[in-house]
Chains A and B, each alone.
Chain A
């Protein structure tokens, strides 16, 4: 521990992450580096859940991977190399697209025109949509709390964020709302689909009884008759 506390894994959406350009700390080698986000959050470690869109070796055979992970608001860019063995192990195995939960340290690259924030994953785990949905809600709640603190200018970091970013809070509120709605919409769809399926099942049952002979006839086939090579493009 060396007297240093563990950094909390902060929650934020890609939209806000990608607009973060300001670094705090890191003057000497041992002091932790934080990225200040537009809604006044100081983060060093984050927890994000999203879709791994693709993975790509930066150069062939370097075992250094660039990954893109999308949440409902945008895309996180991350880099995984041999110094993150746990994350690397998963990256080598998983084939995108896949839902993943990532614990990562944040990095700020100093570009010529502006700075770019990226992730350096400590661990990557394949998860299901329940995890993603809860993450979106949790991240939304915490982001809205920060937006409120920005309005009240109730912390030093909020004050600093005003000075550096002068953010349009309404824009962030809209993004957060859209993210949550995307999750709810999906639930609506799932439920509707379930209802529809239930209704159709009923209907089919009736039809089935009537058409049972025809049904059997039609689907009485040999497996070889189905040649999938066209569809699969083989």
Chain B
């Protein structure tokens, strides 16, 4: 038990020292012992109480105290509701969609990229694209099936003099196209905003004129990971010889726009591809795609 008290004392002393304040270890230890041994207060509460007492004594605010959240890598963020600290670079900022949000975008380190939100209430300064920061005491969260981190009042953002490396944005994947999703094939987009329309209706502008486009939203799977990919007209033409004009012809002949999707599925589903593209938050935007031309003899030789 004595050891545990020493451990906790050290933690508290270190936390204040890291923030530039000296506290008396004996005093800390005495208070912890009193709370834990005499009053049977749980450890975490005892630590919190002693910390609060010291903050009051030294007249320092919570912001001045260095966060204790463990420094993690983005790839390790898998569960919501955890306090963490991150060293990351701002990859991209988006327009905030709500007045409650001060800034929103993507941050990344060498292990991955994740969405972040700075709440307006947090009252933090703004971050800039391309700069690296220490995001202290941020909370992990899950939104729409994806992980993100939230910056709140207890968080801190400190610019650091270090260029955090990002994972290679361009990615090469070899795998089977195992699914072609809805809204693929010959689609219509809104002339005003380019959004895909369903039944001639734009989700934002309502019933407006649209224009034809050809694309595939699909899933490439290598047995260990899956990648949601977007193939554009050029990609599709390179693979099948079917471009926008040919697609229109198929639709006219069959009197059915869906015939294009059926044709693409027949030609592409279940085949292996080599795909090179840029990784976005969710989709791999494909630059180059080709049917995999495997050298079976060599590959098999390596296995045997």
Which residues does A use to contact B, with CB under 8 Å?
A: 1-6, 8-11, 47, 49, 86, 100-103, 122-127, 130-131, 133-135, 137-142, 144, 176-177, 180-181, 183-184, 187
Partner of B224, one of A133, A142, A177: A142
The smallest beta-carbon distance between A90 and chain B, in angstroms, is 8
CB of B145 within 8 A of CB of A9, answer: no
Enumerate 12 A-B pairs (CB-CB under 8 Å) in ascending A order.
Answer: A2-B145, A47-B221, A47-B270, A103-B178, A125-B266, A126-B266, A130-B293, A137-B303, A144-B303, A176-B303, A180-B303, A180-B304
B294 located at the interface, meaning its Cβ lies under 8 Å from any Cβ of chain A in the complex:
yes
**Contact mask B155-198 → A, CB, 8 Å, 1/0?**
00000000000000000000010110000000000000000000
CB of B179 within 8 A of CB of A140, answer: no
The smallest beta-carbon distance between A133 and chain B, in angstroms, is 5
| Chain A residues in 8 Å Cβ range of B221 | 8-9, 47
| Chain B residues in 8 Å Cβ range of A187 | 296-297, 300
| Chain B residues in 8 Å Cβ range of A127 | 270-271
Task: Please report the C-alpha to C-alpha distance between residue A141 and residue B302 in the assembled complex, in whole angstroms.
Answer: 9
B122 located at the interface, meaning its Cβ lies under 8 Å from any Cβ of chain A in the complex:
no
| Chain B residues in 8 Å Cβ range of A6 | 219, 226
Task: Please report the C-alpha to C-alpha distance between residue A180 and residue B222 in the assembled complex, in whole angstroms.
Answer: 18
Task: Please report the C-alpha to C-alpha distance between residue A60 and residue B300 in the assembled complex, in whole angstroms.
Answer: 43
| Chain B residues in 8 Å Cβ range of A180 | 300, 303-304
The smallest beta-carbon distance between B42 and chain A, in angstroms, is 31
Residues from 246 to 304 in B contacting A, C-beta threshold 8 Å? 265-266, 269-272, 292-294, 296-297, 299-301, 303-304
Task: Please report the C-alpha to C-alpha distance between residue A133 and residue B269 in the assembled complex, in whole angstroms.
Answer: 16
The smallest beta-carbon distance between A51 and chain B, in angstroms, is 14
Prevailing SS type, chain B contact patch: mixed
Which residue of chain A lies nearest to B299 when distances are taken between CB atoms in the complex? A137
B99 located at the interface, meaning its Cβ lies under 8 Å from any Cβ of chain A in the complex:
no
CB of B294 within 8 A of CB of A133, answer: yes
Task: Please report the C-alpha to C-alpha distance between residue A214 and residue B294 in the assembled complex, in whole angstroms.
Answer: 45
| Chain A residues in 8 Å Cβ range of B97 | none
B144 located at the interface, meaning its Cβ lies under 8 Å from any Cβ of chain A in the complex:
yes
The smallest beta-carbon distance between A82 and chain B, in angstroms, is 18
Which residue of chain A lies nearest to B262 when distances are taken between CB atoms in the complex? A89
CB of A5 within 8 A of CB of B269, answer: no
CB of B271 within 8 A of CB of A47, answer: no
CB of A8 within 8 A of CB of B225, answer: yes
Partner of B179, one of A1, A103, A137: A103
User: Which of B179, B224, B269, B296 has the most chain A CB atoms closer than 10 A to its own CB?
Assistant: B296
The smallest beta-carbon distance between B127 and chain A, in angstroms, is 27
CB of B224 within 8 A of CB of A125, answer: no
Known: A6-B219, A101-B270. A130 touches B294 (CB 8 A): yes
Task: Please report the C-alpha to C-alpha distance between residue A177 and residue B304 in the assembled complex, in whole angstroms.
Answer: 7
Partner of B272, one of A100, A123, A131, A144: A131
CB of B176 within 8 A of CB of A181, answer: no
| Chain A residues in 8 Å Cβ range of B142 | 3
Known: A3-B142, A8-B221, A8-B223. A131 touches B270 (CB 8 A): yes
The smallest beta-carbon distance between A146 and chain B, in angstroms, is 11
Task: Please report the C-alpha to C-alpha distance between residue A71 and residue B272 in the assembled complex, in whole angstroms.
Answer: 17
The smallest beta-carbon distance between A41 and chain B, in angstroms, is 10
CB of B145 within 8 A of CB of A5, answer: yes
The smallest beta-carbon distance between B86 and chain A, in angstroms, is 22
**Contact mask B123-157 → A, CB, 8 Å, 1/0?**
00000000000000000001011000000000000
**4 additional contacts, CB 8 Å, given A6-B219, A180-B304, A181-B304?**
A100-B270, A134-B272, A177-B304, A184-B304
The smallest beta-carbon distance between B140 and chain A, in angstroms, is 13
CB of B179 within 8 A of CB of A123, answer: yes
CB of A101 within 8 A of CB of B271, answer: yes
The smallest beta-carbon distance between A58 and chain B, in angstroms, is 25
| Chain B residues in 8 Å Cβ range of A138 | 222-223
The smallest beta-carbon distance between B275 and chain A, in angstroms, is 15
Partner of B294, one of A5, A122, A137, A177: A137
CB of B272 within 8 A of CB of A184, answer: no
| Chain A residues in 8 Å Cβ range of B304 | 177, 180-181, 184
CB of A184 within 8 A of CB of B223, answer: no
| Chain A residues in 8 Å Cβ range of B222 | 138
The smallest beta-carbon distance between A30 and chain B, in angstroms, is 15
CB of B223 within 8 A of CB of A137, answer: no
Known: A5-B145, A103-B179. A183 touches B223 (CB 8 A): no
Which residue of chain A lies nearest to B293 when distances are taken between CB atoms in the complex? A130
Task: Please report the C-alpha to C-alpha distance between residue A158 and residue B301 in the assembled complex, in whole angstroms.
Answer: 27
Task: Please report the C-alpha to C-alpha distance between residue A140 and residue B302 in the assembled complex, in whole angstroms.
Answer: 11
The smallest beta-carbon distance between B173 and chain A, in angstroms, is 13
CB of B300 within 8 A of CB of A184, answer: yes
Which residue of chain B lies nearest to A138 when distances are taken between CB atoms in the complex? B223
CB of A9 within 8 A of CB of B176, answer: yes
